[in-house]
Chain A
Amino acid sequence: MFWLFLIGSIGLVLIGIFGLITRSHLIKLLLSLNILETGINLTMIVLGYQNGGKVPIIHSLLDLTKPINFVDPLPQALVLTSIVIGLGTTALALILIVNYYYKTGKLSLERSENEKENIDE
């Protein structure tokens, strides 16, 4: 289960990097960036994983007289920060893409030879 989690999260990172390299459509680039970010967040949470670990919240149902196997709460706190920043940057990037589209009439970064024809359409 742990390996599945690790391979999945690193796989998301690699998919994001692949998308960033091969695509030139701006929305697809942003999607790749978001997939990459999700993968990095999941990888950070994996780093705090413990076998049979518990959620680090103290409540009355926990048996506090014995030692408890808590997972590491620090990566989760950092990921919380990262998610919020990802939201802000995604909103800003989307509005930049909208402005780019209004200025140039295209959504691709690629410089094609028939660029003028595309704008006329």
Chain B
Amino acid sequence: MESVRPSRTIFGILLILFLGYAFYQGIIDKNGKPLIGKTKTTDRVSYNMIEKNVNRSRNVSNKLFSGIKVPYKPGTKNLEDGTANIITSIVVNYRGFDTLGEVMVLFTSLTGFLMLFPSLKRKEKLTKPSFIVRNGLIPLYLITLLVGIYIVFHGHLTPGGGFAGGAVIATGLLLLLIAQFKINEKLLSVLETVAGLSFLTIGLLGLFIKGSFLQNFLNPGPLGNLFSSGIVIYINLVIGLKVASELGSLVNRFTEEE
């Protein structure tokens, strides 16, 4: 059992009061008015990303705007980045190098997970799943797979993307494991390797064609179409594949028998 020391509790309460006061001081100005919520998006870095105007110089004179005047509409061609979802545009296109690092972090931590996984000796055998579980989970798995693929492919048009869709697909794999189907772990690791190498290949193609790593070398089509965003949809696909196979091998490890 765990014993709570009163001295630590008092120290914790004092520290929290101090930190709360520091937070409060951080978000008000000299007159005691809140600073947050006042700054317009037009005064920030992401304004250029919304306007899809990063490579050109910034127009300083739009500080008078109460909002952002978007200079394009759905269907516009030849934009700097044809992604309708600006968050995906930042994650995959403008900050694609960050996303590569993020994928690396996920890969490293899950490699550590699989390395350190203790060899559990199961005392009793698993009970066989009933007929209903075994056959009912198959359509459920297919629907989950469909939803995951939809989320991956529409990451540049709607909220979603490679990470969310990959996690949904891995949940489908978990459903398969509940019904005690076997998943080929070799296949998962091959898929993961292929996905990781494809990410790097897309980045290197950008380097050779356009001159910088992970630059969008395909022509962005009309905004709002499925194949409209250049390399963004392919990177999303690759990330989805990688995340799904990594998380799938993670949940697969729990069902391994000695």
Partner-B contacts on A (CB < 8 A):
2-3, 6, 10, 13-14, 17-18, 21-25, 28, 46-51, 53, 55-60, 62, 64, 66-74, 76-77, 80-81, 83-85, 87-89, 91-92, 95-96, 98-99, 102, 108, 110, 112
B238 interface hit (Cβ, 8 Å) = no
Q: Is the CB of B2 within 8 A of A24?
A: yes
CB-based contact A73/B116 at 8 Å: no
Q: Take A17-B19, A73-B46, A91-B109 as given contacts and tell me if A25 and B2 are in contact as well, using a CB distance cutoff of 8 Å.
A: yes
Bound form: Cα–Cα A3–B233 in Å: 37
Closest residue to A80 on the B side, CB-wise?
Answer: B91
Q: Which listed residue (A10, A50, A60) contacts B224, Cβ 8 A?
A: A60
Q: Could you tell me the distance between the alpha carbons of A49 and B45 in the complex, rounded to whole angstroms?
A: 14
Interface range for B = 35 or more
**Is B139 on the interface with A (CB-CB < 8 A)?**
no
B198 at the interface (CB under 8 A from A): no
Q: Quick check: is B50 within 8 A (CB to CB) of the other chain?
A: yes
Name the contact of B13 in the complex, choosing from A6, A18, A25 (C-beta under 8 A). A18
The residue that A92 contacts in the complex, of B27, B85, B112, B223, with Cβ under 8 A, is B112
Whether the Cβ atoms of A46 and B113 lie closer than 8 Å is no
Cβ contact within 8 Å between B106 and A85: yes
Q: When the two chains form their complex, are residues B102 and A84 in contact, meaning their CB atoms are under 8 A apart? A: yes
Residues in B whose Cβ lies below 8 Å from that of A85: 102, 105-106
| Min CB gap A18→B, angstroms | 5
Of chain A, the residue at the smallest CB distance from B67 is A67
Q: Evaluate contact between B91 and A77: CB separation under 8 angstroms.
A: yes
A81–B70 Cα gap in the complex (Å)? Answer: 26
The 8 Å CB contact of B20, one of A10, A21, A58, A71, is A10
Interface residues of B (CB under 8 A from A): 2-5, 8-9, 11-13, 15-16, 19-20, 23, 27, 34, 36-37, 40-41, 44-46, 49-50, 65-70, 72-74, 84-87, 90-91, 95, 98-99, 102, 105-106, 108-110, 112-113, 116-118, 157-159, 161, 163, 223-224, 243, 250
Check if B40 sits within 8 Å of A50, measured CB to CB. yes
Q: Do A50 and B11 touch across chains, with their CB atoms under 8 A apart? A: no
Min CB distance, B214 to chain A, in Å? 15
- By a CB distance below 8 angstroms, the chain A residues around B45 are 74
Inter-chain contact A88/B105, CB cutoff 8 Å: yes
In the complex the two chains form, is A69's CB within 8 Å of B68's CB? yes
CB distance from B24 to the nearest CB of A (A): 9
Please give, as numbers and ranges, the residues of chain A lying within 8 Å of B224 by CB-CB distance.
58-60
In-complex Cβ contact of B90 among A14, A58, A73 (8 A) = A73
**Are B74 and A59 in contact, CB atoms less than 8 angstroms apart?**
yes
CB distance from B27 to the nearest CB of A (A): 7
Given A17-B16, A73-B49, A84 and B37 contact (CB-CB distance below 8 Å):
no
CB proximity of A50 to chain B, nearest CB, Å: 6
Among the listed A22, A68, A81, A112, which residue makes an inter-chain contact with B99, where contact means beta carbons less than 8 Å apart? A81
Contact (Cβ within 8 A) A80 B112: no
Q: Which of chain A's residues have a CB closer than 8 A to the CB of B73?
A: 58, 64
Tell me how far the C-beta of A95 lies from the nearest C-beta in chain B, rounded to whole angstroms. 5
CA distance A103 to B106 in the complex (A): 26
Q: Please, could you name 11 A-B residue pairs with CB atoms under 8 Å apart, sorted by A?
A: A3-B34, A58-B86, A66-B67, A74-B45, A84-B106, A84-B163, A88-B109, A91-B110, A92-B109, A99-B116, A112-B3
